[in-house]
Structure 1
Amino acid sequence: MHKLEKSVNNITRAILNDYEGTRTIDEVKTFDHPDNEDIINIIESLRRIVFPGYFRNKSYRVYTVRNNISMILEDVIFKLIRQISIVLRYDEKYVMLNDDEINDNAERITFEFLDKLPKIREYIETDVQAAYDGDPAAFNKDEIIYSYPGLYAILVNRLAHELFLLGVPLIPRVMTEHAHSKTGIDIHPGATIGKNFFIDHGTGIVIGETTQIGDNVKVYQGVTLGALSTRGGQSLRNKKRHPTIEDNVTIYSGASILGGETVVGKNAVIGGNAFITRSVPAGAKVSIKNQELRYNFDSPIEQVEKADLDPEENWFYII
């Protein structure tokens, strides 16, 4: 036997022996696994339905868009029923059902979800408008729809959130983690987000599962809406761990707002890099104290003068 072949056989036997343990990673599931590629295709198909004039199949002419929607929808229905029927067995209440019963439930959930698409489109329209109104760098709304990572992350979250509310295991998280990988924006599908939500720049944003966000909220890059501590592990499941952000709040870059009892009141402004673990009253402006800067130069320079800054100025909100 050739030396290389012998080495491969030895390694194969060692790995197969290692599979015989009782660890989680040793478990061989008795049912199919969800297909990430199919789930991503579902997202892109739903994106075409939400924006029918923007992300259509280029093999079709413009005047057939309405007919194409029904074709896209049929494909989504087929794939979504299949994927939901697979993941339902992760839920204890479906484990004992036979294949026909699982399929019936998957079909019911799929159509309940698709009935939510007009509502999702209503909310996304407000998100596009919020991005346009809130970003002077936006050339037009087409630029936002085609290119803004914040809008993509919000869209995927709104789709995933409806599946999350319908009790679908795993798929909502696969969807939002796909958006996370594309945009750097991590929104748990359990997070509740109101209308007119604007994410500017976006990279590094984290929004936890039990976060509640009202209407007309604007969030910049690097913001964390998180939990105070996860040391309790699974004992914290289904408990409110993340903050509530009320209407008309602006949160600037690098701010961290933590804790399930933390409420940021209406019309509040949270300055960059603020670290907040208790509630903020409505209308408040929160900022960190100006830090002392030290300058080291190789050659003499003019004295740096100290200037008093007007607290009403926007200097501590610069993005």
Structure 2
Amino acid sequence: MSAKKRYSTTFPPLRHLSDQKVEKGLAHRAKLPPVIKKLVNSWKNEEHFNHISPVSLPSDDAIVALIHKARSILFPGYFTGTKLHQSNLEYFIGQETSNLFEMLVAQISMAIRHDCQRHELPCTNCDELSHQVAVTFIERLPQVLELLTTDINATLAGDPATKSPDEVIFCYPGLLATTVYRLAHELNKLEVPIIPRIMTEYAHSRTGIDIHPGATIGPGFFIDHGTGVVIGETTIIGQSVRIYQGVTLGALSLPRDAGEKLYKQKRHPTIEDNVIIYANT
């Protein structure tokens, strides 16, 4: 009888392979400290921008979460996994509103404190002021809801392609941009620093629609398609206005010193009631 053939399996030395990977990683990692030192030293130069300070800036992630929370209150049942009915609606709205209040206080407080530091002002009542502003903003939510209802109805009346209010609320970029604008506009009127712009720039990045929170927009506003729409800070828009994609309600480009002279002065168009502005105007 022939002897059984023996098979042997040889594995490469594991230690050798792992050592090679570690050595390669260490060799590349060794190049990082000089770059880190160069970056740190660059921020000693006042020409470079940084925020190295014990006073925190508002968090853009937290502000986006704040937008989502406000939308869940304004449109209950649309942007939450919770099943709602009349028996639990008040509890749900109460819980969401309480959470929104806490989120607002935290972010507004940071924004106000940072503004005080930037202008070298004493911050003696920043905490109390942030609470006052937060509750005033929440008190205005019913008015924001009324305006958004007119915006949804304007969309339903103005776009034959839409099938239902659900489609408008879930899908239409114009309504998302308008919702964020109307929320940011209230904070802007309350003179909250930086947060309103973070909010509208989030909507801009999501929709391609750039609405400055300082603009004044009446009820029944409808942006169709929306990509490329720009609405400047001092724009005034009446009621029942419809705007299509590519419309710019802007101002001339001005030197910085001229812009400062015109700060809060009227420099953007006024659109009267019942106007339609077609694409790329």
Task: Kindly report which structure 2 residues correspond to 1:3-82, keeping only aligned pairs within 5 A, or say none.
Answer: 3-55=27-79, 57-62=80-85, 63-82=87-106
Task: Kindly report which structure 2 residues correspond to 1:273-288, keeping only aligned pairs within 5 A, or say none.
Answer: none
Q: List per-residue Cα deviations over 1:13-43 (Å, max 9, x = no partner).
A: 2112112111251452330111111111111
Q: List per-residue Cα deviations over 1:101-149 (Å, max 9, x = no partner).
A: 2110000000111111010011001000000000111111111111111
Q: 1:139 to 1:60 in 2, by over 3 A?
A: closer
Task: Kindly report which structure 2 residues correspond to 1:85-104, keeping only aligned pairs within 5 A, or say none.
Answer: 85-92=109-116, 95-98=121-124, 101-104=125-128
The aligned counterpart of 1:238 is 264
Q: 1:159 to 1:18 in 2, by over 3 A?
A: same
The aligned amino acid for 1:164 is N
Judge conservation of contact 1:219–1:250 (CA < 8 Å) in 2: yes
Structure 2 unaligned spans of 5+: 1-22
The aligned amino acid for 2:180 is V
Q: 1:19 to 1:192 in 2, by over 3 A?
A: same
Distance 1:218 1:21 in 2: 49
Kindly, what percent of the aligned residue pairs are identical?
43
Task: Kindly report which structure 2 residues correspond to 1:126-275, keeping only aligned pairs within 5 A, or say none.
Answer: 126-231=150-255, 232-255=258-281
Residue 249 of structure 1: CA displacement?
0.8
Residue 95 of structure 1: CA displacement?
3.2
How many residue pairs get aligned? The number is: 252
The aligned counterpart of 2:8 is none
| Greater helix content | 2
- The more displaced of 234-243 and 71-80 is 234-243
Judge conservation of contact 2:42–2:48 (CA < 8 Å) in 1: no
The aligned amino acid for 1:6 is A
Residue 59 of structure 1: CA displacement?
4.0
Judge conservation of contact 1:222–1:254 (CA < 8 Å) in 2: yes
Distance 1:94 1:6 in 2: 42
Distance 1:6 1:143 in 2: 54
Structure 1 unaligned spans of 5+: 256-319
Residue 196 of structure 1: CA displacement?
0.4
Distance 2:38 2:167 in 1: 54
Q: Which of these residues, 144, 149, 162, is aligned with residue 120 of structure 1?
A: 144
Higher relative contact order (Cα pairs below 8 Å, separated by 6+ residues): 2
- Cα RMSD (Å) of the superposition? 1.8
Q: 1:94 to 1:138 in 2, by over 3 A?
A: farther
Q: 1:26 to 1:109 in 2, by over 3 A?
A: closer
Q: List per-residue Cα deviations over 1:190-224 (Å, max 9, x = no partner).
A: 00000000100111100000000000100000000
2:30 aligned counterpart, secondary structure = helix
